[in-house]
Amino acid sequence: MVSFLIQNCWWIPIYGLIGAVLTLPWSAGIIRRTGPRPAAYFNLLMTVLAFIHGSIVYRAVWSQEPREIIFNWLQTVDLDLSFAINISAVTVGAMEVVTALSLLAQVYALGYLEKDWALARFFGLMGFFEAAMAGLTISDSLFFTYALLEMLTLSTYLLVGFWYGQPLVVTAARDAFLTKRVGDVLLLMGVVAVSALAGSMNFSDLYEWAETVELSPLTANLLGLALIAGPVGKCAQFPLHLWLDEAMEGPNPASILRNSVVVSIGAYVLIQMQPILVISPIALDVLVVLGTVTAIGASLVALAQIDLKRAMCHSTSAYLGLVFILVGMQWSGCGLLLLLAHGIAKALLFMGVGGVILTTNSQDITEMGGLWSRMPATTTSYLVGAAGLIGLLPLGSFWALREAVDIFWIIDPWVVPVLLFVNFLTALNLTRVFRLVFLGEYQPKTKRTPEVPWPMAVPMVSLIIITLLIPVMMQRLSLLPDSGYLNLAAMILLVSSGLLGVIIGSIIELNRNLSRPIQAPLRFAQDLLAYDFYFNRFYNLTIVLAVSQLSKLNSWIDRYIVDGVVNLVGLVTIFSGQGLKYGVSGQSQSYLLTILVGISILAVLALWLTDF
């Protein structure tokens, strides 16, 4: 039985698709009498089955060698397109994280979207979402991975635009889709180039090819840059980072997965491609540069946000920036550890944030205050999630960040201040938000704030326990270092950076009444960070403007030159036909004479031209 489940573990992503299909009668309005909740229950049942199936497979393959399952799809001449599945403790474990967080997010959604008329459609999209993410974790084919990334992009577009009756939501969904498409198109170029150069798109074959191939520097670097473009867009890294901020217009249960799993899946794909990227040193250097810029920039931008979800989502880009640095310097194992710790803590943070938003009907943190005594479960989830994110000893992110600091302590010391600075800024921002939302006096929108309903509280409490037990899980997985290998100085600096952020965040003055500082320098700095260094306006004045003007030029050429030539030919044909009809005699011998004269003239011209 266990062997059968292992051999058919490729069914685990399909469970989500089945759940999405089962919701169609309700989401399409065919069944109205029962309400939309049966659709949610069907989707939840499929996710539970996927989690159980994955748990059995994970325990079975824990001590086994990785195995590969290949489904041939298309073979013709030199083209071989196949779906390759990699079954190992790492891939199945990542898939279990996806299904577990998806299950918790769906239960959470039962309470968060309880009165939403499109609940069935939301759960159908969540099943589609889950299938794409779970499939990416076990994919061992670059072709299959690209197809699933496209499926993930479509899912993001549909979930961000879930409340499509609001113009701002439609704009956010469009911008998120188009921004990610930029990376996807470049990645497609890389996929096509790899298929032509390597003759295979299975990762195992590509790893062997990358070890022996000899490409020109230009080809290797262009190939590497194309391959990293997709993960750059998926992980909201500079310069394709603006979409994640706008994607916060979607429902919060989808934001939970988007900030914890979706972006992590993009980094997971990048880690899979890392052995291929060694052929392009420039691509690895670009990863380090983009990761550094995003990590520092996003951490600073988060400090000026007054929207609750936006204040949280920028730290997602920052932590993924740290993962990019680790992958660019070829420390993928530490990157995976940071992805795990960040994903669990960030999911818990967004559950707490969603509880606040649902209760107060507001996302403006300057309108909140005094919630800690009225919403103890929500407050606890925020505190535990924040502690798990900023590297507080002994929670999960501490061990991941500690390993990263240890790695670069000697070989690349300049990375250590980046890690510590990002940890400091994250702690400062989370403390600032906690003070404004949970502490202080009651505000008009927080005077009547009951605790969240049990469908939201159960996932929150479950994830609190999981976050606290992450160090135990790491110990069981042999991911924690022995006490003899601990760098005491690095540990002290890491803990101090987090504590310093908490202390400064606790003592700085926070004024709810003034949306902007009075002093001009402070006002300029706040606006600079609040508007994300004005990158949106910069893009509008450069790339967007250039594309718009080029489109207008193409439209003018098409209308007045291309269409003009076609219309001219049509007019000439019409007038010539109208003129010729008056010279028709109806005598066949005249027609024959005309044809012979015409052919003779053409023959004379042809002979005359051949003489030259």
pLDDT at residue 580 is higher than 70:
no
| Backbone φ and ψ of 449, nearest 5° | -135, 85
> In which region does residue 87 sit, left (phi positive, over 0), alpha (psi from -120 to 50) or beta (all else)?
beta
pLDDT at residue 515 is higher than 70:
no
Cβ proximity of 354 and 456 under 8 Å: yes
Mean pLDDT of 329-342: 88
Mean pLDDT of 484-513: 82
Q: Which of 9-18, 62-71, 84-93 has the lowest mean pLDDT?
A: 62-71
Higher pLDDT, 514 or 199: 199
Summary mean pLDDT of the chain: 85
**Residue 554 token pair:** 């193409």
Mean pLDDT of 109-138: 89
pLDDT at residue 305 is higher than 80:
yes
Termini Cα distance of the chain: 84
Instruction: Give the three-state DSSP class for 586.
Output: coil
List % helix, strand, coil for the chain (3-state, nearest 5): 75, 5, 20
pLDDT at residue 79 is higher than 80:
no
pLDDT at 325: 93
pLDDT at residue 483 is higher than 80:
no
Alpha carbons within 13 angstroms on the beta-carbon side of residue 36 total 18
Higher pLDDT, 112 or 448: 112
Mean pLDDT of 562-580: 75
pLDDT at 66: 80
Higher pLDDT, 584 or 251: 251
Residues ≥6 apart with Cβ < 8 Å to 545: none
pLDDT at 533: 81
Mean pLDDT of 224-231: 91
pLDDT band at residue 262 under the 50/70/90 scheme: confident
* Type and span of the H or E element at 64: none
pLDDT at 605: 82
**Residue 312 token pair:** 């949280």
Helix axes 281-302, 217-234, angle to 10 degrees: 30
pLDDT at residue 496 is higher than 70:
yes
pLDDT at 361: 85
pTM value is 0.88
Block residue for tokens 């409340």: 163
Block residue for tokens 């995976």: 336
Mean pLDDT of 516-541: 75
pLDDT at residue 224 is higher than 80:
yes
Report the percent of the chain where pLDDT is more than 90.
21
pLDDT at 78: 66
Block residue for tokens 């929108």: 445
pLDDT band at residue 516 under the 50/70/90 scheme: low
pLDDT at residue 517 is higher than 90:
no
pLDDT band at residue 195 under the 50/70/90 scheme: confident
Tell me how crowded residue 282 is: count the other CB atoms within 10 A of its CB: 14
pLDDT at 427: 92
**Residue spans of alpha helices (H) in 70-166:** 89-112, 119-138, 142-160
CA 330 – CA 343 distance, rounded (Å)? 21
CA 348 – CA 223 distance, rounded (Å)? 38
pLDDT at 484: 62
**Residue 181 token pair:** 């498409």
Q: pLDDT of 349-372, one tens digit each? A: 999 999 898 888 888 888 888 888
Domain ranges of the chain: 1-140, 141-530, 546-610
